[in-house]
Amino acid sequence: MPNEMSVQREAIVARVRSHARALTLPGIVFVATAGALGYFFGSFPENWQNLALLTAGLLVIIVAWFLPFFGWLARNYTITTRRVVLSSGVFVRIRQELLHSRGYDVTVRQSWVQRMFGSGDLLINAGHDHPVVLRDIPSVALTQAALHDLMENNQNVVSLRRQREESQASDETAVWGTR
């Protein structure tokens, strides 16, 4: 019969994306291209020139706004009470999970622009060759503190579970003798 302490429901603590500041330049390019298309379209004497302008403008919008926007949307990080889930990709989805109970090192790296906006890169070193990087996330200090608390709570739950199992094993040997 499972104990209430051992069966905990996993709850989402935060869903995070990179800072929306990454979409500033694509947004400016989109507005400038749309304005230029509106101003210059129809002003050329030949019909093919107007179509070439429209094609070039649409190509610029696709490459400079559409692709960066969906690239930004396709990468997200979910922090739950049990793990950190990193998801990325549009056509090929990549998902990586880090359990809080395993323990890891959390480091914050900030450039001067990131410090102005309160964002930063969160490096999670879980003992692999390269740390897992949550790039340019907003409120990075708050996220780091939350990860420290979640990791500490999960390690306490795991250690309580181990202590309970060891105490049951020692009770079992006292009744039945040596193993």
Counting as low any pLDDT under 70, the low residues of the chain are 1-8, 157-160, 162-163, 167-179
Give the tokens for residue 92. 């090929």
Say if CB 75 and CB 127 are below 8 A apart: no
Q: Would you kindly state where each structural domain of the chain is located, as residue ranges?
A: 12-19+77-174, 21-72
Cβ contacts of 165 within 8 Å, gap of 6 or more: none
Main-chain phi, psi angles of 92, to 5 degrees: -115, 115
Q: Note the pLDDT of residue 177.
A: 54
Residue whose structure tokens are 């209430």: 4
pTM given for the model: 0.72
Q: Note the pLDDT of residue 159.
A: 66
Q: Which CATH class is domain 12-19+77-174?
A: mainly beta
Cα of 15 vs its chain's centroid, Å: 7
Long-range contacts of the stretch 112-121 (C-beta < 8 A, 24+) = 114/19, 114/140, 117/19, 117/21, 119/19, 119/21
Average pLDDT, the chain: 86
Element (H, E) at 34: helix 24-40
